[in-house]
Structure 1
């Protein structure tokens, strides 16, 4: 696995290349994605890594899926992610944000699989909404899933909820134990327009 600095540099270069391809200035992309221009500059230079919410907002502004902002995998089309591998991405741009591990998030792939192990007190309550369908599977612990217009459900080990990803949704750790979750998102084949709600 390449080190974090090298990976951040490749992610930044990919975002810069996509921005230039679309003809957007750094200022305009930052405005559309709801981030500051200095922060976008840090991302493009590989100094900072985008959070999950920032990745989705940049992808929306660029007309791409989130996976398009990450480097393409090497190999023959088979992806194996070992324990400890995968791109670690915080949920939000804040120090107490929960961190996910992107197991599948690649250019051209409509499937995303992200693993979370979240302790009580870590920030997880960001609202998300994006095209496609999603399923949340709890490996261990308890997770509260709130879906706007559909209600709230608490999942325990080996339980799953599926819903349209376009419905605004957020999660909370339920109880005092960490929760281990697998999130699967199937984006529509025709493509992008990801819309994490502005807070």
Structure 2
């Protein structure tokens, strides 16, 4: 008497839940994973069992371990409140050490919507090339003073003020003061 052959894992429910929890459309996941939209649809409806290569591409695109997709379990719900300890917030420093950008936004939003805690030492400058057409930046100065430059225009900012400016042209932030300038910087890229 032969044993019944176990059924392969059904990843459809897990795939659909992960895709939806990341607010990804089938088109977006298809593009990111290199898997056709029709195949994704069939997998999510448990009408197709994907190859290991397809599951691997989907897991990478979703940023989860391969085993999580193969388990067939419904993924655990994201916590209502996720706390990031101060030591785990990534930071970028300019080569001269005069500017520091702490990356406050989640990395999966990079290139769409970004926000930073910016510190510029006296005499320091953060100068950027033009971002894609339609990009905007919003700088809210918390401490010190800052000179905002966008294209040929300049504006001096005092603590408590916010500057909103086009970032689809060369732009820069300079600290002309005698103390460190601290600000929140939001970058919005067109969708």
Give the structure-1-normalised TM-score.
0.50
Q: Verify: 1:101 aligned to 2:102, yes or no.
A: yes
Which residue is 1:181 aligned to?
183
User: Cα 1:84–1:140, aligned 2, differ >3 Å: closer, same or farther?
Assistant: farther
Q: Is the 8 A contact 1:154 1:174 kept in 2?
A: no
Tell me which moved more, 79-88 or 126-135.
79-88
Q: Is the 8 A contact 2:101 2:117 kept in 1?
A: yes
What is the 5 A alignment of 1:70-109? 76=78, 80-91=83-94, 94-108=95-109
Q: Is the 8 A contact 1:105 1:111 kept in 2?
A: no
State the Cα distance separating 1:108 from its structure 2 match.
4.3
What is the SS of the residue equivalent to 2:116? Answer: strand
Which residue is 1:129 aligned to?
130
User: Cα 1:158–1:82, aligned 2, differ >3 Å: closer, same or farther?
Assistant: farther
What is the SS of the residue equivalent to 1:107? Answer: helix
Query: Which of 133, 139, 142 is the aligned partner of 1:139?
Result: 142
What is the SS of the residue equivalent to 1:115? Answer: strand
How far apart, in 2, do the equivalents of 1:170 and 1:104 lie? 21
Cα displacement string for residues 119-159 of structure 1 (whole angstroms, at most 9, x for unaligned residues) = 214x424233213221011011000011113x110101110
How far apart, in 2, do the equivalents of 1:111 and 1:124 lie? 22
What is the SS of the residue equivalent to 1:146? Answer: strand
How far apart, in 1, do the equivalents of 2:109 and 2:128 lie? 25
Which aligned runs of 4 or more in structure 1 are off by greater than 3 angstroms? 77-85
May I ask how many residue pairs the two structures share in their alignment? 115
Q: CA RMSD in A?
A: 2.8
Q: Is the 8 A contact 2:150 2:167 kept in 1?
A: no
What is the SS of the residue equivalent to 1:144? Answer: strand
User: Cα 1:183–1:101, aligned 2, differ >3 Å: closer, same or farther?
Assistant: same
Cα displacement string for residues 17-55 of structure 1 (whole angstroms, at most 9, x for unaligned residues) = xxxx9xxxxxxxxxxxxxxxxxxxxxxxxxxxxxxxxxx
What is the SS of the residue equivalent to 1:104? Answer: coil
How far apart, in 1, do the equivalents of 2:126 and 2:109 lie? 28
Q: Which structure is richer in relative contact order (CA contacts within 8 A, separation 6 or more)? A: 1
Give the structure-2-normalised TM-score.
0.51
Gapped regions of structure 1 (runs ≥ 5): 1-20, 22-70, 190-199
User: Cα 1:80–1:188, aligned 2, differ >3 Å: closer, same or farther?
Assistant: farther
